[in-house]
Structure 1
Amino acid sequence: AGRLADQGPDDPLIPIMAHPPHNESDLSLEMWLNEVIEANKEGKKKGAKLDFKDLSIVQQSLELLKSHIKQINFPLWLNADILKGPVESSTVPVDADKFLSLCAEYFPQATLSVGWTTKFTSADDEAGAYTKQMVQEMSDTLEKNNITQPITFPIRAAFIGRSLVSLEWLVDTIPDSTITVWSSPSDDIDVQALVALRDNIGHDSVYFDLPEDQQKAFDEAKQKESNTAAVKFQFLPQNASAWATVGVALASALAALYLYE
């Protein structure tokens, strides 16, 4: 919550598009939403992702979304870190029960993007993992709140190598769920772990939202895997009774979450 740059201290707080600790912006949620709506009217096929850092503004934001429900005919994701996650981040999670309850009440059509607070220290930090306990807590939290909406789990790329089994279990356990892999530019990531995740849970069940240099390294790793698979397929005996899977070299794109031209 905050104010627009041209508002005064006596003006009420409203949902704005800004990243904490900033509480002033030149763009309100309503202004931004109208831009996305207009872009879709012009055939640009945009979607929207709202990242909530503070529970206090969630209801007001969802009420605004609900008032535009007839115009929101595009993908809408509601994101919040609702549980404590790897490496004991000092960030306080958004209250899980209240966030989930509000989302289900005001905008059940949206996809919920719910994750864990995280902190990256180094690639060698053994605490850098989504443990079975963490994913079990997420599953229990969603079940307790009777969530039936589509779910995507935002997962920090740096922790995937130590988390493959837990993440595969999570997606298998939660119906209609996917994973969205994200990263900070300063994180040290293992692109082979990203390839393994994609192969393990399926290309249609994982999205990647990576900084440019990390995306490039990931694309190269996928291409290498694809080339290797193609060679193996080429040299199969003609009479072999076998299935050969050729890796697909296209990344699953994060579905137009930002208003870019």
Structure 2
Amino acid sequence: MSCKKCCSSSQTKWILAGSVSMTLVLAISMILGLTLYQRTRPGCENDAVCRPDADMLDYLQNIGQISHRDGLLVTWYHAANSKKEMEAALNSDVMVLEADVTVEGFNTANETEVPIMAHPPAIYSDNTLKEWLEAVLASSQKGIKLDFKSLKAVGPSLDLLRQLTEAGRIRRPVWINADILKGPNVPISTEVNATQFLALVQEKYPKATISPGFTTLYVHQLPNSTYTQAMVETMEELVRALPQKVTFPMRAVMTRAAWPHFSWLLSQSERYSLTLWQGASDPVSVEDLLFIRDNSAPHQIYYDLFEPVLSQFKQLA
């Protein structure tokens, strides 16, 4: 009888010990699994902002790159076209990659339909758009801005973007840029056809932000005109009925003088913003930038500027 009680007590202890051990194993497994998930899951988790047509500021705030919705906080890398420049951009701490797209051998007997990463006059590259996207998507969370230098590159590029998006690969904002209207001081028409460009975006890749700009020319120390109200109204009319967010790239050195026109433009829709860009030799005034900053909301203007102007501006803004 005593043996039975002892054996029964011993069995109970073993059962309890086994239960405790199993519970510990399950708990440890859950913790390890959660830790592994935390390490491997995508940085952007909110589906509302993890998409090509998301607001860039919302996306960058969601992944912890910026603290609040202010275009001045966003940083840019220009012409990340060649594999060397692309790798440098990917290894940097910039938030948005800007790269140029044309077709291989553009306007030559060797022209193909393959989109490549090159800025005119270059028509060849060691980097195709497909290779560029694969590298960027695999190794970063950076936003994407693609500048189209020829209409021929737009269709094949948008097809590729759509395929990657449908496969769940593109979970970040994508900006589609082209200069579609002739702007200040430009003597000849070199712009991408506006009607065809916008139609291709609507047909092939509507879930993106559109960045329609003007061709411009600015020569320091020579008389230069700026954007007119008629130019701005023509641009607004082109995009007014579109469903996408629209950011208008405007040459920073010319923007202050035309500010009444751009203030009017921004007032036309909550979908609109400006991206101020600087030519390599443009003498952009910090005073002009501060004026624009003081007369707009922080989320309405992005500042794609060179040093030392950018740092000087940030110190005073």
**Which residue of structure 2 aligns with residue 54 of structure 1?**
150
Moved beyond 6 Å, runs of 4+: none
- Secondary structure of 2:116's counterpart equals coil
The residue matched to 1:58 in structure 2 has which SS? helix
Match of 1:172 among 234, 253, 267: 267
Corresponding letter in the other structure for 1:212: E
Match of 2:136 among 8, 22, 36: 36
Following TM superposition, by how much is the alpha carbon of 1:45 offset from its aligned partner in structure 2, in angstroms? 2.0
**1:214-233 aligned within 5 A:** 214-222=309-317
Post-superposition CA distance 1:86-107 (Å, at most 9, x none): 1125451100011001111111
Say if 1:82 and 1:114, in contact at 8 Å, map to a contact too. yes
For residues 202 and 296 of structure 2, what CA distance do their matches in structure 1 show?
A: 27
Please give the alpha-carbon distance, in whole angstroms, between the structure 2 residues aligned to 1:89 and 1:113: 23
Correspondent of 1:185 among 280, 284, 293: 280
Aligned length: 210
1:48/1:202 CA distance change after superposition, 3 Å: same
Q: What's the TM-score once normalised by structure 2's chain length?
A: 0.63
Q: Deviations over 1:216-256 (max 9, x none)?
A: 2322332xxxxxxxxxxxxxxxxxxxxxxxxxxxxxxxxxx
What secondary structure is seen at the aligned counterpart in 2 of 1:171? helix
CA displacement 1:101-135 (0-9 Å, x = unmatched): 111111111100111000012367351x2211111
Output the TM-score relative to the length of structure 1.
0.76
- Residues 15 and 170 of structure 1: is their aligned pair in 2 closer, same or farther, counting only changes over 3 Å? same
Root-mean-square deviation over aligned CA pairs: 1.8
Q: Map 1:1-261 onto structure 2 (within 5 A).
A: 1-2=103-104, 12-39=112-139, 44-69=140-165, 70-90=168-188, 92-122=190-220, 125-127=223-225, 129-143=226-240, 146-222=241-317
Measured in 1, the distance between the counterparts of 2:223 and 2:256 equals 12
Structure 2 counterpart of 1:2, which letter?
Answer: E
Q: CA deviation digits over 1:178-230, x for unaligned, max 9?
A: 111100121111221111212212111101111122212322332xxxxxxxx
Instruction: Say which SS state the counterpart of residue 24 (structure 1) adopts.
Output: coil
Q: Is the 8 A contact 2:116 2:128 kept in 1?
A: yes
Q: Which runs of 5+ in 2 are unaligned?
A: 1-102
CA distance in 1, matches of 2:192, 2:111: 26
Q: Which runs of 5+ in 1 are unaligned?
A: 4-8, 223-261
Larger Rg: 2
Q: Quickly say closer, same or farther: Cα 1:114–1:208, change in 2 above 3 A.
A: same
Mapped contact 2:249–2:274 kept (Cα < 8 A)? yes
Q: Percent identity?
A: 37
- Rounded to whole Å, the distance in 2 between the matches of 1:204 and 1:72 is 24
Return the alpha-carbon distance in structure 2 between the equivalents of residues 217 and 63 of structure 1: 41
Aligned mates of 1:219, 1:164 — CA distance in 2: 20
